[in-house]
């Protein structure tokens, strides 16, 4: 694998595990047995390095785990339920779970680095737009109640997911997952279409 790819991969891994400010460039280079020369040949700075990781790896990761799985013409509430369930299940089985990568970075860079925050918020927006679209389509197709505010529902879903991933990092993640999913279904039941027809 190319050096640049390896740098980005272990970069995301370490930044996720230890945080951006607590992970030095030397840490990453030591892990890969590379030198400063190699790093600064491929990247202008640590910040440039991280931004490329965001765009190349993080954005794709969010897309494949949270956006692509809810695309389709089925009931969006079922799709989102399964999507969240799957995403949390991998977190439960992962020895080292540090919460939602995107959410962690959001709180780490908030108020500290505007440039990076801009790139992170772009990913958040993409997720939000896709959620809203999916919900609106579901409403159009008769899966959701006519009175549902799709923007509000999307915000609520994103919030609760970010939050539960933070809570899951402490003790008993599987219990947290189970409890969360049960109340998510409860909420979904309250916004699904009332079956008055046929």
CB 101 within 8 A of CB 16: yes
List the interface residues with DNA, window 153-172 (CB under 7 A): none
Q: Is 98 in the site for a copy of itself (CB under 8 A)?
A: yes
Q: Name the residue nearer to DNA (CB basis): 34 or 87.
A: 34
Tokens linked to 53: 């990781």
Tokens linked to 71: 């695309």
List the interface residues with DNA, window 46-65 (CB under 7 A): 46-47
Give start and end residues of each alpha helix (H) in the chain.
Answer: 3-18, 25-32, 36-42, 46-53, 59-62, 76-93, 101-109, 114-140, 150-167, 173-191
* Binding window for a copy of itself (CB under 8 A); candidates: 26-34, 48-56, 68-76, 109-117: 109-117
Q: Is 5 in the site for DNA (CB under 7 A)?
A: no
Out of DNA, a copy of itself, none, what residue 34 binds, judged by CB under 5 to 8 A for its kind, is DNA
Residue 192 has phi, psi (to 5 degrees) of -75, 160
Q: Which of 52, 70, 59 is nearest to 121 (CA)?
A: 59
Q: Name the residue nearer to a copy of itself (CB basis): 35 or 159.
A: 159
Q: Which of 40, 82, 85, 90 binds DNA (CB under 7 A)?
A: 40
Residues making contact with DNA (CB under 7 A): 3-4, 23-27, 33-38, 40-42, 45-47
């Amino acid at each position: 694998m190319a050096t640049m790819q390896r740098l980005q991969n272990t970069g995301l891994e370490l930044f996720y595990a230890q945080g951006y400010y607590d992970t030095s460039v030397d840490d990453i280079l030591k892990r890969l047995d590379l030198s400063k020369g190699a790093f600064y040949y491929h990247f202008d700075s640590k910040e440039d390095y991280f931004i490329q990781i965001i765009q190349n790896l993080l954005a794709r990761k969010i897309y494949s785990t949270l956006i692509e799985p809810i695309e389709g013409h089925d009931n969006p509430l079922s799709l989102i339920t399964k999507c969240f369930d799957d995403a949390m299940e991998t977190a439960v089985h992962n020895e080292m779970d540090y919460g939602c990568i995107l959410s962690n970075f959001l709180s780490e860079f908030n108020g500290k680095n505007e440039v990076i925050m801009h790139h992170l918020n772009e990913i958040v927006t993409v997720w939000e737009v896709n959620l809203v679209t999916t919900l609106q389509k579901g409403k159009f197709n008769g899966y959701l109640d006519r009175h549902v505010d799709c923007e509000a529902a999307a915000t609520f879903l994103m919030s609760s997911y970010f939050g539960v991933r933070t809570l899951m990092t402490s003790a008993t993640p599987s219990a947290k997952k189970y409890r969360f999913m049960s109340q998510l279904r409860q909420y979904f039941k309250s916004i699904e279409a009332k079956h008055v027809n046929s």
